[in-house]
Structure 1
Amino acid sequence: MGLVTEIVALPAAPLRGVMWVLDKVVRAAEREYYDPGPVQEALAALERERQEGGVDDEEFEQREQALMRRLEEIRAYQLGQAGPGGA
């Protein structure tokens, strides 16, 4: 029965290959998009910019809030990926 199944499924092999590649691309894109590192670096750079006087308090607050929302989104995604059992 295994040989017959392989022969019948043979025409779908290219599709399975494409789906495998797409899955790998999506996973890599998600890892990059949900990486907190760049957001944390942007927060540190924003703080340095404020200390150097390159940004006023109002602009700092707005940009900081946007970055913090992004970090919250990343953490929520990571918690969702961890599943109901936690980390």
Structure 2
Amino acid sequence: MGLLSSLFTLPLAPVRGVIWLGEVIQDQVEQQLHDPADIRRELDELEAAAAAGRLSEAEHRAAQQQLLNRLIRPPDDPPAGRSDSR
């Protein structure tokens, strides 16, 4: 039965490959999104923009809070509204 099921599901192999590739890319993006060094660099850029007057105080606080949330939230924790059905 294993041989027959393999033959019947063979046309789906490219789809499974694309799904696997998408999962690998998603994992890499999430790792980079939550990398403390990248977040620290973005915080430094944010501080420089605020010091130069390119951001209002409210914009600065909101952007800073978003960056800190990325740092605090663990990478395995799905964002609100997203369910991970793996």
TM range (shorter): 0.5 to 0.7
Unaligned runs of 5+ in 2: 79-86
SS in 1 for 2:77: helix
TM-score (norm 2): 0.60
* Matched AA of 1:2: G
**Map of 2:43 onto structure 1:** 43
SS in 1 for 2:51: coil
Unaligned runs of 5+ in 1: 82-87
- Tell me whether 1:80 sits opposite 2:77 in the alignment: yes
**Map of 1:84 onto structure 2:** none
- Tell me whether 1:69 sits opposite 2:72 in the alignment: no
**Map of 1:55 onto structure 2:** 51
SS in 1 for 2:21: helix
Q: Specify which structure has the higher proportion of helix.
A: 1
Alignment of 1:4-23 (within 5 A): 4-23=4-23
Shift of 1:73: 3.0
* Matched AA of 2:70: E
Q: How many residue pairs align between the two structures?
A: 76
* Matched AA of 2:9: A
Quote the sequence identity (%).
Answer: 27
